[in-house]
Every structure is written in structure tokens, then in C-alpha cells.
Structure 1
Amino acid sequence: MEQHPDAPQDIFAALRTEVLACLRRILPDLPEEALARVTMEPPRDPSHGDMSTNAAMVVAKPARQPPAKIAAQLAEALAQLPMVSGAAPAGPGFVNLRLAEDYLHGQVPLILRVGEAYGDGQAGSDVPVNVEYVSANPTGPMHVGHCRGAVVGDALANLLAKAGARVTKEYYINDAGAQVQALGYAAYWRYLQAIGTTLTEEEYSASIPGGLQYRGEYLIPVGEALRDRHGEALAPGKLPADPALWLDTVREFAVARMMEAIREDLAALGVAHDVFISEADLVRRGVADRAIADLSAKGLVYEGVLEPPKGKLPEDWEPRPQTLFASTRFGDDVDRPLRKSDGSNTYFANDIGNHADKIARGFGELVQVWGADHGGYVPRMKAAVAALSGEKRVGFTVVLTQIVKVLKGGEPVRMSKRAGTYITLRDLIDEVGRDAVRFTMLTRKSDAQMDFDLDKVVEQSRENPVFYVQYAHARCRSVLRQAGEPAQSDLAAAPLGHLKDEAELALIRRLSLWPRVVEGAAAAREPHRIAFYLGDLAADFHILWNRGRDDATLRFIRAEEPDATRARLALVAATAIVIRSGLAVMGVAPVEEMR
């Protein structure tokens, strides 16, 4: 057979369109809204065919006909299509399809022509998407929990861009509030040490509000840099007695140095944000106050008294009038305070300002990656975005990431030499490398807890998904180098009718799933699906590789069969392209050869 000349990128979408056209002919009076739930999926059991549609079941009720009757008519109509080699009704109303080999073959030259753009989508390209992730308080080194959020957020942003969205990667710097004030005091202690203070750590801790909270050695260079910048001008006795008059100088310097370190850690992980937004800057510009005024004008802010918390009543709780946001009108369980007792903004009020700023910058979809411990915060923020956006109906999605437990030798690794109390992101990268960290962090759904086994991540075995996928790409490249690096344009014209073995066809079927995987993973906000897909693709390729070792007629390069060799090289090159495309979404570099 000749290869199909007009193979679409997403053959599942293309066949769904054909199914809808057949239904409209079979059931001309069927309302269009009845077609919305028609799907085209790969069957769970590959022996049932290449695709399966639920069309007969979902239209049976509005059509007022039994699903089996519709399925039989639909199968008969689909069987007449040139890209379908067989169609049969199954079960309570499914129709299973087998695709013509030439139609499947058409995916290979298409991949070779478009390269790593294969799988690119157009969905949502008119709606700017803001993906905010990491956003760690700049009070210490990035740790393993931040690492998972950074990888998930970065891969998700890449995935949405691959699916066709206009994406901005954003880091929201939490540089306002009590924790950052505590950082200022901790940095000042390291400054005092740098200029030779006679105070003990305990004496200093007892002299400051809340005590010395950040004691890690990572602040020693910050204190020394303060000394180098200011000399002894910040020494006790040379400053006003009220810290409010000078602490901002230390705090802002410390935040800037910590953000430099955070950027360096993120760069080591391959993460580069497009925008950094400062909470302190938003507060200075009154963004939150204006947002609250806007909500008030909508009748969504009022003075009231909250009911006491459910369960045990805190000792410090008192019923007092507060400025409240009517978040229950948008699905939250209680209304939320916007002002503290001293009149300053609550953290939630400042966060309202953050989201109002994003909406004002024109984003139509907000996606945020948070630690699982912030899960309870989601309903109030959804309510705030709904209230802020009004008729604009800005989308808001939160992806939660669960904790990561680092293991070595089967035992938990509990602390870092640098941070003193936890494993830093840099520790992890130094131990196993950036690509292994990124790939492994995406091998579980983000809201599932993860054991990160340092030994298994570097193990060269099939049980290690990082190695298994990288090895598949390295094998592809080895074959192509052995063949003299044939041009993809030449391979795109290869006679693919030689690809008849079931292992070859299975690999093509897997390649043809890539556009659909991208679309589905982006819609679900689940970048781990890319890692799963690449694992399956690598497995199909390794199976074909091993078939060639057992059966010489299936080897990729056979001098006595030049046409079959070109066809198989085309398949190998297409496989390498899709692996690279998937790894690019994950932010992982492909390996040319394994050593």
C-alpha cells in the first residue's frame, strides 16, 4: 500500500471527526449537543483494535434508539472509510476500529517532516496563561519540597506551551510579613558575628522579637557581605534604638542575597522564570488595598464577627469585629478576614492583591503549584479569583505537590550540611544530577507522596525509568550513527510498506498517541503523564530492538534489503524525535550514548 498522503497529527481527533460525520448521516435529527460527549480512545485491550468510540452509548438516549442498533450502523459506516481496515460493535455500545496500515504508516513521515513540533497543539493559544510555581519564602536554601514543586511547575508550564498556550512562568516572592522580618534579624546576627560581636547567640536571640528563628550557616556569607557593604555603620550604638528605623535595610539586603541563591539553585535545576513579582512591592504600590476596595464596591467586603473555629476553641480566640471577604458566596465554607487586629493586611489580603495584579496584566488562566499543606487554602483563593474576575471568568487551577522522602541505602536521609535541618535542592542535584532529579520527580502524580531513592535513580536497569528512557534514545542515535546519519527528508520518503511486523506497528501506534497525550495531560494539568508515556514508548522500542536480535530479518540495518532498511531507519528516527519532544517538556536533556 502507498502511505496516506494527508496523515493528521492527531489521528484520534481525526477519527472522532469521522465518527461525528457518520452519526450525522445515520441520525440526521440528532441534536448537536448530544455529540459533545463522544470520545475516541485507545482500547484497554490492544487485541480489540486501534481505537474505540463510545458514540452509540452517549447518543442512544437523545436518538431514542438502542445503543446496540446504533453501534451496528456506525460500525458499518466507519468500515467504508479508507483509513479504517475494520470496524465492529462491542459490549454495551462501543465500536472498535482497526486502522489501515498505510494510515498508521503516514505518522512516520509526518513526524520526520515536523520534527519535535510533532504534538504541538493550538488549544487555548488566545488565552494567556500564568503559571506560578516555587514561590518559596526567601528565608533559606531551596529544599526537596521546593524541588518537586519547581519541577512539576516547570514541566507543566512547558506542557501547556506544547499544547498551544501562551505561557508566562512566574515566581511570587513572599518578601513581606513576619517570616521575612525574622530573616532580617537572623542576617543581622551574622553581621554582628562578622564584625566581632561579644554577644552570644543565646543573648542575641533573647533580645529580639520571637527569638532567632533562622540559624543555618547559609546566612554567614550574607552577614559578611553586609559587613563588606556597610563596615561597622550598622553596629549597635550607631543605629536608632527602634529596629523599625533600620531593619528594612538589613532585611532587603538579605532578601536580595537569598533570591540570588534561589535563582542559582533553580538554574542548576534547569528552571528559569519569566517574571519575579515581589509581595513587598505590591504592598508598597497598594495593589491589595485597591483590590479590596473593588471587592467592597461589589458588596463583597463587610465588617462582621466570625463564628468560633469548629472543635477546640483556641485560648486566644475572641469574638471581635473584623473586615471580612464574603467568600462563602463563591463556595468557601467561611468568610475570610482581610485585616489583622493592628489594621494591617492579612496574608490572604496580600494574596488577593497578587491575583488581582495577574488579572490586571491580562491573564485569562491562572495555574499555581502549591505544597499539599496548603490544600485548605484553595477554596478561599478560588473564591477570591472568581470575585475579582467577575464576568471575565478567569480560570484558576491549583496543583498540589506532596512531600518527598529521600532515601539512601534504604534509609531516610534527614539533613543537609548546609541547611542543618533538611535536604536542599542543591544536595539532590549534586548527588544524582539535574536530569535524574527532574525525570524522577515526574514519575509519580504530584499529589502522591514520593520516595526518592538516591541509589535507584542512578541504577542502570529497566527498573529505573530515567535510564530506561534515556537508553532508548541512545539506542536510536546509535543506529542512526551506524547508518551514517541519513537525512530526515530522505527517510520521510522511505517505502514504509516494509513495516509489517506487529512490534513495528505497535511502535507506530505508540508514536501516534503523542499528540493526544500532550492534549490530555495539559487539560488535566498532569505532567507526570509525559513520563509514563515515555516509559511506554521506550518499552515498545526496546521490544523491537530485542526482536531484531532474535530475528535477523527484523534488524534495523540490512545491507541486502536497502528499502526495508530505510523504512526501519525512518521509524527509528521518528522514535528519537518523539522521545526528545517528551524530554523537552520534562526539561530533561536527551542522551546521545550511554557510558
Structure 2
Amino acid sequence: MTPEQLSAAIVAALQSLVDDGSLALSAGVPESVRVERPKVKEHGDYATNVAMQLTKQAGRPPREIAELIAARLGAAEGIAGVEVAGPGFLNVRVAAAAQGEIARQVLEAGESYGHAPSTGARVNLEFISANPTGPLHLGHTRWAAVGDALSRVLRAAGNEVTNEFYINDRGNQMDKFGASLKARAHGQQPPEDGYHGDYVADLAAKVVAAHPGILELPEDEQLLAFREEGYAMQLAEQRSELEEFHTHFDVWFSERSLHDSDAVERGLDRLREEGRLFESDGATWMRTTDFGDDKDRVLLRSNGELTYFASDTAYYVDKRDRGFDPCIYLLGADHHGYVGRLQAMAACVGDTPGEQIQILIGQLVKILQDGRELKLSKRAGTIVTLRELIDLIGVDALRYTLIRYPADSPLTLDVAEMTRKSNDNPVYYVQYAHARLSSILRNAADLGLTPALETFDPALVSTDREGDLLRSLAEFPRLVAQAAELREPHRVARYLEDTAGTFHRFYDVCRVLPQGDEEPGDVHRARLVLVAATRQVFANGLALLGVDAPERM
């Protein structure tokens, strides 16, 4: 019995009490009831304080309400017992057979276990906004891992999600990029305010190799050609590395396209219709202070030049015009000052901050190797790139480690710890659990045993350790829903680590396979189903993190 099924049983008990006049609820029977696993095992399998929550509308003491619920719920199928504790808590014990059915439910659902039906919501998730003027760096790497995991969790919770990468391909930095490539191709140093990393020389050589006549072009044409060819090559490299990092983007949105398609003008028109623009000193401003911003924002300067915030505004309006609600932004710590102005901007176009626009701020991460920090600086050329991090640490270890912490927590991580093959390394610990489960199933197959649901007797997985593992599997759907609602994919990683511990404790005391000349029995077969269900949950959880679930380690 899952928490959701128990919740439904409690709701049914309340409804029957209301129907026969035993209980009156002024606001009606709740649609669902929150149940939790008690911290003390002796208190039962699940607990709820629903009686205390209903006291006011029932006009009766909570313990009295709890006793009514307990009497009705105790007769429900799958419930072994209900006790009233303290001022009105309900402690519920689930029958062994009902608890064991969780394993069947997991295997029947397969890869969809933990996934919810469609909510109809169309979510736009923007979690990398980068210049196509250099490699993706450590900051981008964290947002790539966390953002992609959040996307997977949101999809599992029933949302339609579009992952969007915003390409900062407009502005003076693009010209500096082109000039830097051109200089390197001619064996010269880039401009002082240009790009100086070693990657610039490598990229310039690739451009020349692909277009041998480029060095013979007139000066202006040559600068433009280096800029555009370098842009295309650098963007292609970013795409390739992100795919290798198990991070997929559905839309690569060009800042240039906002201006080429007149989207900026349409955004300004929308703001004028809302009465949110005003003219001052020859410039066009947006009244963001009407919605809590610390100052009004310039969109069009007196010289006719659009500001970056004009692009940001047009981009948001474009997202909303494409039907997305909500639009979620994952921004780095250096963009903390953007939160107020973006929320005010959304309010200016008629939306509700925190609803149609949601902004998550991620903190910085430091990587240590041999006790020293790996530094990054795109201009100075000492950048730590995504490519280098993948080669140094590996995709799985890097993704998992970056995801398992809340995005708003600053991180200092050590290469040696992330790559250590021991149970002290969380990613190894979780992947090893999946590999161990796979090994058990392979060994069972060698004995002619398979996890067969048609002969599965759920009442046979009834020991304390089996119950602990079953309850942990039952928590997975609710955990996924919670991680999506709170926008916290790290909860999935922590759940897998806890469940790995629960599985190892089960395996230490519950023998799954027969030994020696022992004949396989019904208990062996039942435990094999539990093992298969546990492996399925690990596979599903690791998939939500974009981390491989190895069969062998």
C-alpha cells in the first residue's frame, strides 16, 4: 500500500463517517490526506495528524475525531491496525500482503513508476545563457547538470517541459571575438580587450582549415567571416559537449532573432498598451518601480540604442506568446540583482511574479585538485572548461555530485573525492546498489529463477527489513512530485542514497537466493520480485538525474 493509497483509504473513511452522520465537516471531506513515515518504527508504518487538522471545522476534540477515523479505517482492506496516539495522531499499520503489493506495482509500472499523469502545464526552463565566444565553463556545468535534472523531474511530475538555451550572439563581444580569431589566424596577439585563451588560436586554425581563402578576403569581410564561422563552430562545440554531458536542449534561442523578427518592438508595444512606459531625457523607460524594483529601467537609450534589458523583456514576452506558463529561469549568483527587475518586468506585462515567472538562483562552485582550486577566467585564458571537467572527473560523477546539493548552496568539491571508487563516494554508492541488484538477478537467472509476478505472494515479504525497503519504494512517486514542486532535484539523489542503505540492510539479513543444495522456495521467489522492483526504482531515479545505472561495477 502506497502513501497515496492510504490517503485515499482515510478519505474514504472520512466520507463514510460524514455520510452516516457520525461526523460533520463544515468545509467538506478533504480530497487528500497527508501521511508520513514515523521516525519511530514502533509507531507503525505510517502516521497522520488529519484529526487535528479537522478539529475546527468538526467542532470536536481531535482525539475524538481520531477514534472515529481509527474505527472506520481499521476495517478497510489492507490495514492491519490503527492506533490513536497523543492528542489525536493516527498510527497506521499496513497488512503484510498490502505492503508487499508495492513490489508488484513497481514492476507493472516499469520505467513509468514515479511518473504522474499529465498536468497540462507547458513549462519553459532556461538554465544556460552563454556567449558563443568560448567554451562552456564550470559555472555553466553546474547549471547544465541541475537544470537538466530539474527538467527531467518536472516531466516526471506530468509537465510538458521545453529546455531552452539563450545564445548571447548580439553585441560588441561578438565583434571582439571575430577580431581575436582574425588576429590569431595571422599570427598576431588578439586585441587587449579581446579573447586570449588558447582555444582562440585552435578555433582560428579550424576556421582557416575549413575556409582556406578566408585570409585573402578584404579586411571587413574577413572580420565578419571569422566572427560568423567562429560563432558557428563554437556553438556546435557547446551543443556536442552538452549532449555528451547528458544535457539536451529543445530550443537554442538566438538573441539576434529577437531583433531580426521585430520581437523587441512587439514587446515594447505590449508595454505601451499596459501603460508601463514613459519618456524621460530622450530615453524610453519601464515603470518597474510600480512593482517593487529599486529603480525604473531604461529600454531605449536617448541615442536610439536598445538596452540588454529590452532584449530580456522581449524574450520573456516571446516565451509567453509561445504559450509557456510558467517560465523558469535558473540564474547564477552573479545575477542575483536581476531577480527584482525580472519579476517587476513580468508584472509590467500583466503577469504575476512567482507564478508565470519563477527565478531560481544558483551559487558558485569551486573544484579542488591536490588541495588547490582550479581557476577560471575566459579572458585570461585560464578557464576550466566543461570538456576538461568531463575528462578529469567523468560525466556520471560530475553530474551526480553537482545535482545532489541544493542549487542555492555554494560548493567546494574535490576531484579525488568525486572519482573515488568507494562507498564514501555517493555516486559510487548508489550506482553500486543498482549493480548489486543486477548481479543478484543474473545469479538468479543462472539458477533458473526469474521475478515472476504471476506466482508472487506479497504476504511473504513481511520481515522488518523487507517492510523498510517496501516503504522506501512506495515513497518514490511522492518524492518525485515533491522535488518537482519545490524545484529541488537534489531530493532524488538523497532519496537514492537513503534507499541504497535500506537495500543493503535488507540484503544483509534477508537471503534472496538458495544456497548449496537448497531448493528454491516461495520466499526466495517473493524476495526476488522485491529485488527486481528495487532495481527498477534505482534505474528510474538515476534516469531522473541523467546518470547511468550500470549492470556491473
1:162-188 Cα deviation digits (max 9, x unpaired):
111111111111111233333233223
Change (3 A) 1:483 1:28: same
Q: What's 1:398 paired with?
A: 359
> Greater CA deviation, 166-175 or 528-537?
166-175
* Deviation of 1:143 (Å): 1.1
Q: 2:384 aligns with which of 423, 428, 431?
A: 423
Q: Name the residue aligned to 2:84.
A: 89
In the other structure, the counterpart of 1:490 is 452
**1:72-221 to 2 correspondence within 5 Å?**
72-122=67-117, 124=119, 126-193=120-187, 201=189, 205=191, 211-221=192-202
Q: 2 CA distance for matches of 1:523 and 1:274?
A: 22
Mark the CA change 1:13 to 1:378 in structure 2 (over 3 Å): closer, same or farther.
Answer: farther
Aligned to 1:96, the other structure's residue is in SS state strand
Match of 1:224 among 197, 202, 205: 205
**Equivalent residue for 1:270?**
246
| Structure 1 unaligned regions, length at least 5 | 1-6, 206-210, 305-319, 549-553
Residues in 2 aligned to 1:402 and 1:61: alpha-carbon distance in whole angstroms: 43
| SS of the residue 2:128 aligns to | coil
Q: Give the count of matched residue pairs.
A: 548
Residue matched to 1:282? 258
Counterpart for residue 346 of structure 2: 385
- What SS is found at the alignment partner of 1:41? coil
Deviation digits for residues 534-565 of structure 1 (CA, Å, limit 9, x no counterpart): 001111111112224xxxxx344454342111
Alignment of 1:214-253 (within 5 A): 214-228=195-209, 231=212, 238-239=218-219, 247-253=223-229
Measure, in 2, the Cα distance between the counterparts of 1:495 and 1:353.
Answer: 60
Partner amino acid, structure 2, of 1:400:
I
Judge which range, 166-175 or 183-192, deviates more: 183-192
Shift of 1:90: 3.2
Alpha-carbon deviations, 1:362-404, whole Å to 9, x = none? 1122122211221221222123234435499962222222111
The 3-state SS of whatever aligns with 1:484 is helix
Amino acid at match of 1:582: G
* 3-state secondary structure, aligned to 1:353: helix
SS in structure 2 of the partner of residue 135 of structure 1: strand
Distance in 2 (CA, whole Å) between partners of 1:356 and 1:97 is: 50
- The 8 Å contact of residues 488 and 573 in structure 1, kept in 2 or not, is answered as no
1:363 matches 2:314:
no
Structure 1 stretch 374-383 or stretch 87-96: which is displaced more? 87-96
Query: Relative to structure 2, which stretch is displaced further, 477-486 or 526-535?
Result: 477-486
| Equivalent in the alignment of 2:530 | 571
SS of residue matched to 2:169: coil
Aligned ranges 1:340-359 → 2 under 5 Å: 340-359=301-320
Q: Percent identity?
A: 37
Q: TM-score, normalised by structure 2?
A: 0.91
Q: Distance in 1 between the 2:211 and 2:422 partners? A: 55
1:227 corresponds to which letter in structure 2? V
Moved more, 333-342 or 273-282: 333-342
Q: Amino acid of the residue matched to residue 295 of structure 1?
A: L
| Residue in 1 that maps onto 2:393 | 432
Change (3 A) 1:59 1:129: same
The residue aligned with 1:313 is none
Output one character per residue of 1:344-369: Cα deviation in whole Å (capped at 9) or x when no partner.
22111101111111111111221222
Structure 1 range deviating more: 79-88 or 518-527: 79-88
Q: Alignment partner for residue 55 of structure 1, among 41, 50, 57?
A: 50
Match of 1:3 in 2: none
SS at 2:81 equivalent: strand
Question: Which residue in 2 is equivalent to 1:31?
Answer: 27
Matches within 5 A, 1:420-569: 420-484=381-445, 490-491=452-453, 493-548=455-510, 554-558=511-515, 559-569=518-528
- Structure 1 residues 422, 535: CA separation in 2 closer, same or farther (over 3 Å shift)? same
Gaps of at least 5 residues in structure 2 are none
Question: Could you tell me how far apart the structure 1 residues matched to 2:133 and 2:462 are?
Answer: 60
**Partner Cα distance (1:336, 1:348) in 2:** 8
Shift of 1:152: 0.6
| Structure 2 Cα separation of the partners of residues 24 and 419 of structure 1 | 72
| CA spacing shift, 1:416–1:462, aligned 2, 3 Å | farther
Output the CA distance in 2 between the equivalents of 1:418 and 1:22.
70
Contact 2:98–2:459 (CA<8 Å) still a contact in 1?
no
Alpha-carbon displacement from aligned partner over 1:294-345 (angstroms, at most 9, x marks no partner):
11111011124xxxxxxxxxxxxxxx56422222333434322212343222
Mapped contact 2:274–2:350 kept (Cα < 8 A): no
1:386-443 Cα deviation digits (max 9, x unpaired)? 4435499962222222111111233323359998323211111111211111111111
Contact 2:2 2:471 in 1 (8 A): no
Distance (whole Å) between structure 2 residues aligned to residue 441 and residue 454 of structure 1:
12
Equivalent-residue separation in structure 2 for 1:229 and 1:23 (angstroms): 78
Contact 2:288 2:341 in 1 (8 A): yes
* Partners of 1:24 and 1:181 in 2: CA distance: 73
Q: For residues 226-277 of structure 1, what are the alpha-carbon distances to aligned partners after superposition, in whole Å with 9 as ceiling and x for unaligned?
A: 43465566669x335xxxx875443332221211111121122111211111
The one-letter amino acid paired with 1:264 is S
**CA displacement at 1:16 relative to structure 2:** 5.6
Q: 1:300 aligns with which of 268, 273, 276?
A: 276
In structure 2, how many angstroms separate the alpha carbons of the residues matched to 1:89 and 1:19?
15
Deviation by residue 1:54-90 (Cα, 9 ceiling, x = unmatched): 3222222233333333233333332222222222233
Contact kept? 1:478, 1:593, Cα under 8 Å: yes
**Contact 1:10 1:513 (C-alpha < 8 Å) held by counterparts:** no
RMSD over aligned CA atoms reads 2.8
2-structure distance, mates of 1:519, 1:287: 36
C-alpha distance in 2, partners of 1:493/1:389?
A: 59
* AA at the equivalent of 1:514: F
Cα distance in 2 for partners of 1:402, 1:42 equals: 32
- Distance in 2 (CA, whole Å) between partners of 1:15 and 1:187 is 68
SS in 2 for 1:129: strand
